[in-house]
Structure 1
Amino acid sequence: MAEAFDLSGRVALVTGGASGIGVGIAELLAEAGATVVIADIDATRAAAQADALKGAGHQAASVAVDLGDETSVIAACADVVERHGAPWILVNNAGLQHRELLLEGSVRHWDRNNAVNARGPFLMIRELAKAMVAAGQGGRVINVASSGLIGQMVQGLSAYLASKGALAALTQAAAMELAEHGITVNTVLPGGVGTPGAIGAEGPPPIGPGNRRPPLGMCEPRDIGSAVLYFATPMARHVTNQTICVDAGFSIT
């Protein structure tokens, strides 16, 4: 059974892997044997997280990337492929979650959310899937969206949820186009996780049904990482264009 979750010899890139949910994802992929590349806008924290994984006996590296900047994405992906070869696993986890009420929303806020949360993953897939296809060994793409798409909502998230909806739709389109190359594309919808990004999000108070405590309690980063790990492993080799919601039972309340 251990072989079904073995990622030895695989390279995995996790965006936003220097903090929050990304840390839990990176840890589990590393524990499964993958060489994990932490891709983050904060180069110092990305390097520190890679060092922490290496200190725990795993293989890891880091790369700086600004998902809102196409030039940065292209350069970061080229650097990773040059140093490590084509990643077999891409986890589009990084995202912004600051809030603005709909009737007070700004184009700047809307554009920034969509640039990082939707356009950034599109660019990452475009660049790294090219390398996956060239390598000819298939691959895995896992997009991290939000359980807000199915109801765990608070006020002020119109731009955020629109961008995450675009990301979920991108899963479907990418899964169709990449299937012939043996590359699967799936989505994870995290529920409430007490990350620094969530706690420190700017904007109006988070009022709405998303404040209800789920039956199983708040999720932790590794809970989200478990769903990502499943999609990344040989166990999911014939699973594509699918969604797992990790919301601790919120959807049944």
Structure 2
Amino acid sequence: MTFKGAVKLTDAVKLKDKVAVVTGGASGIGRATALLFAREGAAVVVADLDGPGAASAARDIAEAGGRAVAVTADVSVEDDCARVVRAAVDTFGGLHVLFNNAGIIRRADALGTTVEEWDRVMAVNVRSVFLMCKHAVPAMTSGGSIVNTGSGWGLKGGGNALSYCASKAAVVNMTRALAIDHAKAGIRVNSVNPGDTDTPMLRDEARQLSEDWTAFAADAADRPMGRAGSPEEIARAVLFLACEDASFVTGSALVVDGGGLA
């Protein structure tokens, strides 16, 4: 994504005066969303285990005239989640949008997955959503929006990705439960469910499976629209769910996959 210049106060921005947290914001969908949120007027906390990557995203936003701060955090750890939320409140004065995007994948079936790998996937993909929401909801004193990254494989099964499929299914249904619990507080909770998207994680999947990237990418493009998605396309869907355009949308699982599940 090209992030062009400072946002003018006269622009019809969708997140003007909002404060957003993006986990997994150093690369891929997270980075694209952090940049888009900033372009749409939000102050952004970019959180990632990759500290230099988070700092790079925050620096790009700041150099273009936006507001951002980077936080190095392992969002499977409660103290780190609390620290990310405090950074939003202490630095920018509140919290209105949380994008729970941090995630990992292990491409293996049950026989090829170790207990340690299973636990780590569940910790990063599922426990982090619980922990971030646990600390973010009390900070959303005037309501807000939470968007969780699910997956097409959270809605249907996939091969050689047992722990990932299980974790993303948990995210989708946890999203529904959170939406019910916090609607009266004015907090909407939705999931965005991408299909194959050209990110570093997708390329890592090819490496894990010892597959040639060209062949792997061709398989990822095998869907009605004939291509994989881009991080920027997923970011625009996240923006929709995060802003007032989706004011009557909560508990939904928005599929953004070029027709793959169709």
Please, what TM-score do these two structures have when normalized by structure 2? 0.87
After TM superposition, which residue ranges in structure 1, 4 or more long, deviate above 6 angstroms?
none
After superposition, give the CA deviation of every residue in 1:109-149 in whole Å (9 maximum; x if it has no partner). Answer: 110000010001110001011111xx2x1100000111112
Instruction: Output the CA distance in 1 between the equivalents of 2:79 and 2:233.
Output: 33
Shift of 1:243: 1.6
2:236 is matched with: 226
Does the CA contact (< 8 Å) of 1:36 and 1:61 recur in 2? yes
Give the match's secondary structure for 1:14: strand
Please tell me the residue identity of whatever aligns with 2:224: P
Does residue 193 of structure 2 align to residue 189 of structure 1? yes
**Count of residue pairs the alignment pairs up:** 245
Residue in 1 aligned with 2:61?
Answer: 53
State the 1:194 CA deviation: 1.5
Counterpart amino acid of residue 231 in structure 1: L
The structure 2 residue matched to 1:200, chosen from 204, 215, 229, is 204
* Aligned counterparts of 1:223 and 1:152: Cα–Cα separation in 2: 23
2:85 match: secondary structure: helix
Matches within 5 A, 1:47-126: 47-126=55-134
1:102 is paired with a residue whose SS is coil
Q: Please state how far the C-alpha of 1:50 moved relative to its aligned partner.
A: 0.5
Higher relative contact order (CA 8 A, sep 6+): 1
* Alpha-carbon distance in 1 for matches of 2:240, 2:154: 21
List gaps (5 residues or longer) in structure 2: 1-10
Query: For 2:31, what is the secondary structure of its paired residue?
Result: helix
Q: What are structure 1's unaligned runs of at least 5 residues?
A: none
Equivalent position amino acid for 2:147 in 1 = I
Q: 3-state DSSP class of the match of 1:13?
A: strand
Report the alpha carbon displacement of residue 76 of structure 1 after superposing the two structures with TM.
Answer: 2.6
Instruction: Tell me the equivalent position of 1:156.
Output: 160
- CA shift at 1:152, angstroms? 7.2
- Secondary structure of the residue aligned to 2:95 is coil
TM-score normalised by the chain length of structure 1:
0.90
